[in-house]
Amino acid sequence: MSFVSELSERMPGRVHAPGSTEYEAGAHVFAGQGTPDAVVRPGSASEVGLAVRSAVAAGVAFTVRSGGHGSDPVTGGVVVDLSDLAAIEVGADGVVHVGAGAHWGDVAAALAPHGLGITSGDTRDVGVGGLVLGGGIGWLVRTHGLTVDALREVELVTATGEVLTVNAHSHPDLFWALRGGGGNFGIATRFTLQAADVSGLVGGHVRFDQSDERTVLGAWRDVMRDAPDGLNSTLLVMPALMPEVPAGPQLSVALQGAEAELRRLLEPLLSLPSVADVSLGPVAYGDLLEDAPPGKPPFDFVGGNGFAPDLSEAALDAFAATLESEVPTMLLLRALGGAFSRVPADATAIAQRDGQALVAVNRLVPLDAGPELRAAAAVGIDEAVAFTTGRYANFTPEFGDDVVTEIFPPVTLARLRAIKREVDPHDVFRASHHITP
């Protein structure tokens, strides 16, 4: 009897074969449609444990899916799809229990009536599981830190199928590793997070034309350098791609405070001659989140990213220079500092706490681009990324040992490996950014 048939007998109604709706949904990730042998949709943590034990005993590879916004379509083996573990419970004092299979838009909607939010990315459809385990840079990162900074407890299925409650007291090392170390240590089925008061937000967008992008970068840096922690912002410079997406710098901002205060803080930017459109006003936290573009993007990305500790003139020159490429380029600067930087570098597996911005350069190439075009697209990216340290795993769709050593500084990686040897010595969990024991 095949493994899939055996598992179907052990987990009636939970194992889905090609052709079923559950299979198509569970085999699909943002980067495309995968071709696993089956999709398993457990209904509880103990069923996740049963699936893990069965796959390990049969020597069958498996991957984990929460919201499916990762970059790793699965070929072969079994997908453990956590879509049915998506309950959201708001407890006392803003403590929230969230199933790993929930999406951040659902979390924002569940918390909105309480005036609460968990800062957690900028997109509604992104899943809870993958984003949390990779760190989670959300809209209000300067005010409330990373998503993992609000994490209090994780329900985790281990390599032996055991269900553990992992927190700072019960398993301090493992809890440290789960805050940024990815899916290398087990399958997280439920997270307990401390939500924050997100009432009284003002925010919106300022769009600039392409006439003076470097000046916009400089003015943005100056505004954010002196800004209170309450001001959060992202500057995205878009290439001329399609008529509905204007080219040039676009600033997205949010502040917990008054609109007049927001406009006062942004004045050096709002007074630039290249301002093309201003749309600012009161906004609910859930409305800050955007919908992901439908389907796989019609291009591939050749890119790099990192945490910039110093937004010097030379660094901004190098970032702006990436826009001069003939290959369409997206440049993203996401302001950090504030609460993000008050967490000690060794408190979680995200160590680059001195980062003033997360910088990402992405060149857009056709899906069928050959090595020559990809190499041409890469020109200039290293020079920009040289002004940053580390890489942000959640924004890194490249995999392999060399990428893992770029993501984590040596001390962090050594500690992650030691914990991996302890909790998963046989390397059962091979996450997208795979940390070997």
Ligand X SMILES: Cc1cc2nc3c(=O)[nH]c(=O)nc-3n(C[C@H](O)[C@H](O)[C@H](O)COP(=O)(O)OP(=O)(O)OC[C@H]3O[C@@H](n4cnc5c(N)ncnc54)[C@H](O)[C@@H]3O)c2cc1C
CB of 50 to ligand X, least distance (A): 16
The alpha carbon dihedral of 167, 196, 106, 26 has a sign of negative
CB of 185 to ligand X, least distance (A): 8
Give the interface segment with ligand X, choosing from 123-131, 158-166, 217-225, 264-272 (CB under 6 A): 123-131
Distance CA 298, CA 316 (A): 29
Please tell me the count of residues contacting ligand X according to CB under 6 A. Answer: 32
Question: Judged by CB under 6 A, does residue 105 bind ligand X?
Answer: no
Question: Judged by CB under 6 A, does residue 398 bind ligand X?
Answer: no
Distance CA 183, CA 56 (A): 16
Position 100, amino acid: A
Cα–Cα separations (whole angstroms), residue 143 to 125, 197, 312, 321, 403 = 23, 11, 23, 30, 30
Of residues 130 and 218, the one with the C-beta less far from ligand X: 130
CB of 224 to ligand X, least distance (A): 17
CB of 174 to ligand X, least distance (A): 13
Question: Judged by CB under 6 A, does residue 235 bind ligand X?
Answer: no
Of residues 289 and 320, the one with the C-beta less far from ligand X: 289
Residues 42-71 that bind ligand X (CB under 6 A): 63-70
Q: In this chain, which of 61, 284, 292, 343 binds ligand X, going by CB under 6 A?
A: 292
- Here the tokens at position 211 are 């006439």
- Here the tokens at position 222 are 């100056």
In 3D space, the residue among 3, 120, 106, 138 whose CA is nearest the CA of residue 61 turns out to be 3
CB of 24 to ligand X, least distance (A): 15
CB of 319 to ligand X, least distance (A): 19
Of residues 129 and 161, the one with the C-beta less far from ligand X: 129
Residues 151-190 as x/- pattern, contact with ligand X by CB under 6 A: --------------------------------x---xx--
Of residues 156 and 272, the one with the C-beta less far from ligand X: 156
Give the interface segment with ligand X, choosing from 125-133, 222-230, 301-309, 379-387 (CB under 6 A): 125-133
CB of 16 to ligand X, least distance (A): 16
Question: Judged by CB under 6 A, does residue 131 bind ligand X?
Answer: yes
* Secondary structure E strands in 132-240: 151-157, 163-167, 187-194, 196-197, 201-208, 231-238
Question: Judged by CB under 6 A, does residue 129 bind ligand X?
Answer: yes
Of residues 293 and 425, the one with the C-beta less far from ligand X: 293
In 3D space, the residue among 406, 392, 400 whose CA is nearest the CA of residue 362 turns out to be 392
Q: In this chain, which of 158, 250, 356, 394 binds ligand X, going by CB under 6 A?
A: 394
Residues 348-367 that bind ligand X (CB under 6 A): none
Q: What is the CA radius of gyration of the chain?
A: 22
Please give the full DSSP string across 213-257, using - where no structure is assigned.
HHHHHHHHHHHHHT--TTEEEEEEEEPS--TTS--EEEEEEEEES
Of residues 105 and 218, the one with the C-beta less far from ligand X: 105
Q: Which residues contact 334 (CB under 8 A, 6 or more apart)?
A: 137, 141, 234, 357, 358, 359, 360
Question: Judged by CB under 6 A, does residue 107 bind ligand X?
Answer: no
Distance CA 350, CA 331 (A): 22
H or E stretch at 95:
strand 95-99
Phi/psi for 170 (5° steps) reads -75, -45
Cβ atoms of 130 and 63 within 8 Å: the answer is: no
Residues forming contacts to ligand X in the complex (CB under 6 A) are 29-30, 63-70, 72, 82, 100, 121-123, 126-127, 129-131, 133-134, 136-137, 183, 187-188, 292, 394, 431-432
